[in-house]
Amino acid sequence: LNAAGMSVALIERKLIGGTCVNTGCIPTKTMVASAYAAHLARRAADYGVTVSGPVGVDYKAIKARKDKVSGASRTGLETWIAGMEKCTLYRGHARFESANTVRVGDELLTAPKIFLNTGGRASVPDLPGVHDIPYLTNSSMMDLDVLPSHLIVVGGSYISLEFAQMFRRFGSEVTVIEKAPRLTGREDEDTSAAIQSILENEGIIVHVGAGDIAFARKGNEIAVTFSADKPPAVGSHVLLALGRVPNTDDLGLDKAGVEVDQRGFIVVDDQLRTSVPGIWAMGDCNGKGAFTHTSYNDFEIVAANLLDNDPRKVTDRIEAYALYIDPPLGRCGMTEAAVKKSGRRALVGQRPMTRVGRAVEKGETQGFMKILADADTGEILGCAVLGPGGDEAIHCVLDLMYAKAPISTLARAMHIHPNVSELLPTIAQELKPLD
């Protein structure tokens, strides 16, 4: 909007850059890199490399590195914003007073176009004893300056598992407690099982199918009960990773007439317009995605419609995301379960990483690759790559899906050897009916 010549007021109540820059992608992946370095150093002998003495971890140095990388990103954004003409940064809590008026402290701002991208925060369910303990969330984990002796992670999805493996590699004992029957419940069962195996192979204790979860102090430690048949897990720190809620409850949306659903997400149409003309909602607060890339794509959709007369819409995009454990999971399109539910005839191809040369050479053979295609049309329906470089290799398939190229295009492609993604065409040549 600023580049298009419009005057812009940008309002931020806390830190420029939001979750991704300050408590999400950038700091956590910086720490994941430190955890990988520690893990690889411990495995040095597997590669014929000698390390004299045990591998140690300086957690304060890890945190300092994370803070430096995250801080540089935030500073870069602040400098960029300050350099914009006709753009004013307001620091404070914005609340609607009408459909086109927003108050920030003593300032009352009026505009014909208002864009909401207020993000989300960790959900803290009212579980027994939860308010009697000093629990951590993904945000407060970023401020932790001591290494937990035993970290108990409550929740078994993406954020929780990244932290679980990361801190295990830093040297903490780690226990994961998940209420559902398996980890990462939105994935296929074989993917969930492989993820659990990867974590357990590193000494992480995993409990799934947990019953009534409750918390209590036990001296200087915290006890988490989760089953009548098993003793409580007792640890030094507890991380709650039980989902996210949108930051929409204190914006005065009712005064603007903006509709929200039962979970608090702002209701938007396929071009991200809210129920009130002149107000759009992007990012985590609209329930259409919970990633930095979906938030950025939301911006692209709004800008295309508003500035370029380009009728882009949310339903044009293909679901894609990654789980940043090591090895990472790259995912796009439909799962096996979703394909079966759709009722369409499908083909599936799969190959374990033990049969991928690049993975063998790297000594990282956990995981597998899987591709799904429509048996009648050849349309590529989905893909999962759990293995080294899976978060990058997945784009081979994702881009073909956007191009609407059939599976035969992938089957005939020549990929570079030696590479993890070189086996994707081979898998595409070996598809079999999905049972």
Helix 25-42 vs helix 59-82: angle between axes, to the nearest 10 degrees? 150
C-alpha separations of 42 from 9, 56, 66, 197, 427 in Å: 50, 9, 21, 19, 33
Q: Are 8 and 1 in contact (CB under 8 A)?
A: yes
What are the average pLDDT values for consecutive 10-residue runs of the chain, which has 435 residues? Answer: 81 93 95 97 96 94 97 95 92 96 95 96 95 96 96 96 98 98 97 98 97 94 93 97 96 97 97 98 95 96 96 97 98 97 97 97 98 98 98 98 98 97 97 95
Give the pLDDT of residue 2. 67
- Annotated active-site residue 150? The verdict is no
The DSSP code for 52 is S
- What per-residue confidence (pLDDT) applies to 228? 84
Tell me the CB-side half-sphere exposure of residue 227, using CA atoms within 13 A.
Answer: 12
- CATH assignment of 130-242? 3.50.50.60
DSSP-derived secondary structure for 311-352: ---GGGS--EEEE-SSS-EEEEE--HHHHHHHT--EEEEEEE
Residue with tokens 């295009």, as numbered in its chain: 409
Q: In the chain, where does the domain assigned CATH 3.30.390.30 lie?
A: 321-433
Between helices 158-170 and 25-42, what is the axis angle to 10°?
40
> According to the model, what pLDDT value does residue 405 have?
98
The closest of 272, 225, 314 to 114, measured between CA atoms, is: 272
**In terms of C-beta density within 10 A (0-12 exposed, 13-18 middle, 19 or more buried), how is residue 262 classed?**
exposed
Nearest to 114 by CA among 316, 290, 252, 315: 252
Cα–Cα distance for residue pair 259/286, rounded to 1 Å: 11
Which of 414, 340, 328 minimizes the C-alpha distance to 382?
340
Of the residues 207, 237, 415, 417, only one is catalytic, namely: 417
Integer CA distances (angstroms), 272 to 101, 155, 250, 268, 306, in order: 20, 30, 20, 5, 11
| DSSP single-letter state for residue 134 | -
In the CATH scheme, what is the code of domain 321-433? Answer: 3.30.390.30
pLDDT at residue 339, rounded to an integer = 97
CATH class of 8-122+245-316: alpha beta
Phi, psi of 404 (to 5 degrees): 60, 30
Could you give the count of Cα atoms lying within 13 Å of 40 in the half-sphere of its Cβ? 11
Characterize the bridge pairing of strands 214-218 and 320-323.
unpaired
Q: Which residue has the tokens 């089957």?
A: 411
Residue 322's nearest CA partner among 434, 191, 199, 207 is 191
Q: Where in the chain is the domain with CATH 3.50.50.60?
A: 8-122+245-316, 130-242
